[in-house]
Amino acid sequence: MDQNISMETISCTDCDSHQKFENEIVASLKAHPKHLLSKYFYDQKGDVLFQQIMNMPEYYLTDCEMEIFTKKTEEIAHAVKAFDAPFDLVELGAGDATKSSHLLKYLVTKNVDFTYMPIDISGNIISVLKERFSREIPDLDLVGLNGEYFEMLDKANSISSRRKVILFLGGNIGNMEVEEAHQFCHELRKKLNPGDILLIGFDLKKDPDIILSAYNDKAGITASFNLNLLERINNELDANFDIGKFKHYQTYDPLAGACRSYLISLEKQNVMIGNQVIHFSENEAVYMEISQKYAPEETDKMALQNGFKPVKHISDTKGWFIDAIWKVI
């Protein structure tokens, strides 16, 4: 790869994302129970709403991981062996990269030889990142990869054979059911080589009230974030959801560590998506997203069962969140 091209974007060309969006939305709303895929939360408005969520006082996850990335930057750099050999730093679901930007700035200051490859399904956020980093970290080599995690990781492998350090931060792995998270790590392992490193964020089980209020904020931003997916479907798929006829509902099960969000239909109604009719009963729930919480030992087990060696946990001072370092074996 030409290392002098410092900021380029590669998009998923072999997937018709609009058609896939329509097919997956219609299928998931015709399923029993109805559900929607949280990967579709992030259009331009969804990206902004998620940034507002990260700034909410109740949403402790960002503060905890931000503390790790600002106060323990050097420890992270050593844990991912940043000073050993050139590498590609691939961030899965980078979002606005507020936390990882601290590591990026540190590595650039230390003249470390690496290329930053943010992967995100939101083309909007990749453009935002490129524009921001070209101003804030002009010496950063960046290749933006717009598409889904594994398709774009294949692209990253096809354009560069350097060793990979993968970042998977925030609540991303938590947005998968436990089984799905294991399957994800298993698939991820197949795309990496021995010695590659994964830094993966896990929100830990804690006081259930603290967890529930992080997803049930008083200002209603999380509710707007969930309802925005209905607006996105209206805008992009010629649908006629009446947003006022749905409400956001959140639960936390402290035994399972599962925090789940739903939209509840406030009345019996029919909604059109193009020429498809979706029927909702009064009080019918649409399952939106899980935010799974883990015990530290459960994360080690996940590593060992899927071809990684758990190396260390880097925690915030409250002990509410860990960035786990796993090495591919």
CA dist., res. 182 & res. 199, Å (int): 15
The answer to whether residue 50 forms part of the interface with ligand SAM (CB under 6 A) is yes
Among 172, 213, 250, 299, binds ligand SAM (CB under 6 A): 172
CA dist., res. 320 & res. 64, Å (int): 7
The answer to whether residue 42 forms part of the interface with ligand SAM (CB under 6 A) is yes
Phi and psi at residue 174, to the nearest 5°: -65, -20
Shortest distance in whole angstroms from residue 169 CB to ligand SAM: 4
Among 36, 79, 104, 169, binds ligand SAM (CB under 6 A): 169
Which run of H or E residues covers position 261?
strand 258-265
User: Smaller CB distance to ligand SAM: residue 50 or 114?
Assistant: 50
What residue type is 322 in one-letter code?
I
Token pair of 307 as six digits: 């071809």
Task: Please list every residue from 56 through 95 that binds ligand SAM, using CB under 6 A.
Answer: 93-95
The answer to whether residue 222 forms part of the interface with ligand SAM (CB under 6 A) is no
Token pair of 94 as six digits: 């980078």
Shortest distance in whole angstroms from residue 188 CB to ligand SAM: 12
The site that binds ligand SAM (CB under 6 A) totals a number of residues, namely 18
Radius of gyration of the chain (CA): 20
Between the alpha carbon of residue 312 and those of residues 70, 78, 206, 315, 317, the distances in Å are 18, 12, 20, 10, 16
Among 8, 17, 39, 130, binds ligand SAM (CB under 6 A): 39
Q: CA angle 34-187-301, nearest 5°? A: 90
Shortest distance in whole angstroms from residue 165 CB to ligand SAM: 15
DSSP 212: H
The answer to whether residue 176 forms part of the interface with ligand SAM (CB under 6 A) is no
User: Smaller CB distance to ligand SAM: residue 80 or 271?
Assistant: 80
Of residues 107, 164, 92, 161, the one with CA closest to residue 139: 107
Of residues 144, 231, 228, 157, the one with CA closest to residue 192: 157
Site string for ligand SAM, 91-130 (x = CB under 6 A): --xxx---x-------------------xxxx--x-----
Shortest distance in whole angstroms from residue 34 CB to ligand SAM: 20
Shortest distance in whole angstroms from residue 282 CB to ligand SAM: 31
User: Smaller CB distance to ligand SAM: residue 214 or 278?
Assistant: 214
Scanning the structure block, which residue is given the tokens 């692209």?
Answer: 155
Among 43, 141, 148, 284, binds ligand SAM (CB under 6 A): 148
Which chain residues interact with ligand SAM by CB under 6 A? 39, 42, 50, 93-95, 99, 119-122, 125, 148-149, 169-172
